[in-house]
Structure 1
Amino acid sequence: MKTTLDELQTLIAVVDTGALSRAADHLGLTVSAVSRTLGRLEEKLETTLLRRTTRRLELTEEGSAFLERARQIIACVDDAEEDLAARRERPAGRLRVDAASPFMLHAVVPLVAGYRARYPQVSLELTSNDGLIDLLEHRTDVAIRIGRLKDSTLHARSIGSCRLRVLAAPTYLERHGRPRNIAELGQHALLGFTQPAVLNEWPLPDVDDMPVRITPSVAASSGETLRQLALEGVGIVCLADYLTHRDRAEGRLIQLFPTRTLDVRQPIHAVYYRNTALTARIASFVNYLSEHWDASAGGCRANEATSGS
């Protein structure tokens, strides 16, 4: 496009005010600047838009037709700017959110109804990938990631953190007994992750007072799979509170070694690309998730201690 918005606005101002001097006052420009802008516009269009005499300005037939379209263009731009301003106050449009399936099921899904009630003009698309994804490739606006972040191309906003606990179902403990000390864990069926290895470091002190590293008897890639295995009494597991707080509250899972458990927490972040502006949609979702983290995760909140049980 050859023509600029400034040139269109100048033409409209000249016609509406009826004089270069009054248009210059309206636009905060000099008369010579207004005259040069009009001349440049006519040069680009290779058309005379205004006939100028010492006493008046008169639109040519081409100028009249062009002015009508110019007004429409400026009106569309004004509408778009007003719409964006409104969206900052009232988020709208599609928001694509990705999270690992356990977090999606136990932390995000319980909040969707409340979020939609507050922001009904935001259309949510929820996807679950247990591994790290390329946000651009998957057309994802914001992803929730658990653990330490490594990707420097991402912006990150802390949502909170969640404590890890070692747990077993009553049925497992009835059949196999409760381990009397941490060393006895090696005699039990232990449920762990296939990867990464750091997830198999449990918040119990070894002989050097460091988190003990276990070798799983049964390994899975998903925390939800491990939770279900633990509920079935297959073995002892270590999971974050957002996955298990209801199970503990209702007695389906029991914490082992509550007084020996180290205060180890998984950080939780909302991430988006650095070259992506923090739109009102992203901000509304991240703020809502952070605001309701206590309710959605059974007492896990950033910078707050979680009571042992």
Structure 2
Amino acid sequence: MKITLEELRAWVTVVDTGSITAAAEQLHQTSSGISRALSRLESKLQTTLLHRTTRRLALTEEGTIFLEHARQILASVEQAEEQIAQRREMPAGRLRVNAATPFMLHVIVPLVAEFTEAYPLIQLELNTDDVLIDLLEQQTDIAIRIGELRDSSIRARSLGCSRLRLMATPAYLARHGTPRSVEELAQHRLIGFTQAEPHNTWPIWRQEGELLHIKPDLAASSGETIRQLVLAHQGIARMSDFVTHQDVANGRLVQVLEAETRDVRLPVNAVYYRNSTLSSRITCFLDFLQQKIDASKLL
């Protein structure tokens, strides 16, 4: 049988206080409970640690040797508990965050300086993937996922929903004309994703009353690549507001078919493992991110 911390504390406290009765009072236990803990400890070690008389307790040679080790063990445990408590008050350690490239570049990266100033003991590790990843395999603490969640083994915290719009540059529209109806989109170069549904479903109705599904003339696997293609005047694309808000504000992009566009939004979630207890660094990052997203109205 293995020695327990309870037995070590009882043993060291008896030595420090000089009696079983005093140790029991200090540890808020009964004298019989402390006595049994000492007996179990000596039985596990197969040696006598204390000579006990009616007047005093005396350490054996083995007891003197073991006492030093017991103190070191208890001190290490107390130090570990103190460090964990400090981390709760001032979160610390490495935090691995994974997100699709557009969300990382347009939402998280602009907040890094402020976050690291507020939490200087957290070391951020930012990774981008435009496909779903295995959190354990990639050693990821938090992953930002856009769209409906299908994995029941993870926990999720909603960060909001991002509205979808059709966007193009003023230069592209000046050269190729501005579409006035859904039918006129056939006359334009449509930029979409290499993946199938639902990435190429656009937030406008077809005549049959269903959302339009396009076959892209120009396709890319990354939302950021699609943004760069649109900014290069290569066509019209469906994009999320969190990707385009700065471009719209600066006049680089304009909305196309605004009157025909439906209010379609993609859920944005921060996910982590269901069986994990949230560390303080994960909690503070999610709280910080949520606060900034709400303030900026990005989602």
Match of 1:195 in 2: 195
Q: Distance in 2 between matches of 1:7 and 1:28?
A: 14
Match of 1:304 in 2: none
- Note the alpha carbon deviations across 1:218-277, whole angstroms, 9 max, x for none: 111111111111111111111001111111111111101223221111111111111221
Match of 2:37 in 1: 37
- Of residues 138-147 and 21-30 in structure 1, the stretch that sits farther from structure 2 once superposed is 21-30
Query: Which letter maps to 1:126?
Result: L
Give the 3-state SS of the residue equivalent to 2:219 in structure 1. strand
- Note the alpha carbon deviations across 1:33-62, whole angstroms, 9 max, x for none: 211110110111112110001111111122
**Residue 247 (structure 2) pairs with residue 247 (structure 1):** yes
Query: Which letter maps to 2:66?
Result: F
Give the 3-state SS of the residue equivalent to 1:48 in structure 2. coil
Q: How does 1:145-294 map to 2 (within 5 A)?
A: 145-294=145-294
Q: Distance in 2 between matches of 1:81 and 1:74?
A: 11
Match of 2:103 in 1: 103
Query: Which letter maps to 1:199?
Result: H
- Note the alpha carbon deviations across 1:57-89, whole angstroms, 9 max, x for none: 111122122112211211111111111111111
Q: How does 1:134-145 map to 2 (within 5 A)?
A: 134-145=134-145
Match of 2:298 in 1: 300
Listed as ranges, the gaps of 5+ residues in structure 2 are none
Q: How big is the shift at 1:100?
A: 1.0
Q: Distance in 2 between matches of 1:104 and 1:290?
A: 14
Q: Distance in 2 between matches of 1:196 and 1:145?
A: 17
Q: How big is the shift at 1:207?
A: 1.9
For the 8 Å contact 1:163–1:300, the answer to whether it is kept is no
The normalised TM-score by structure 1 is 0.93
Match of 1:78 in 2: 78
For the 8 Å contact 1:94–1:123, the answer to whether it is kept is yes
Q: How big is the shift at 1:130?
A: 0.8
- Note the alpha carbon deviations across 1:163-208, whole angstroms, 9 max, x for none: 1110111111111100111121122110011114111111112224
Listed as ranges, the gaps of 5+ residues in structure 1 are 302-309
Q: How many residues align?
A: 299
Match of 1:306 in 2: none
Q: Distance in 1 between matches of 2:209 and 2:167?
A: 20
Q: Distance in 2 between matches of 1:132 and 1:177?
A: 37
Match of 1:53 in 2: 53
- Of residues 49-58 and 1-10 in structure 1, the stretch that sits farther from structure 2 once superposed is 1-10
Query: Which letter maps to 1:131?
Result: V
Q: How big is the shift at 1:294?
A: 4.2
Q: How big is the shift at 1:28?
A: 2.3
- Of residues 235-244 and 285-294 in structure 1, the stretch that sits farther from structure 2 once superposed is 285-294
Identity rate of aligned residues, in percent? 56
Q: Distance in 2 between matches of 1:300 and 1:93?
A: 28
Q: Distance in 1 between matches of 2:235 and 2:294?
A: 29
Q: How big is the shift at 1:300?
A: 2.2
Q: Distance in 2 between matches of 1:225 and 1:5?
A: 57
For the 8 Å contact 1:157–1:269, the answer to whether it is kept is yes
Give the 3-state SS of the residue equivalent to 2:76 in structure 1. helix
Q: How big is the shift at 1:29?
A: 2.1
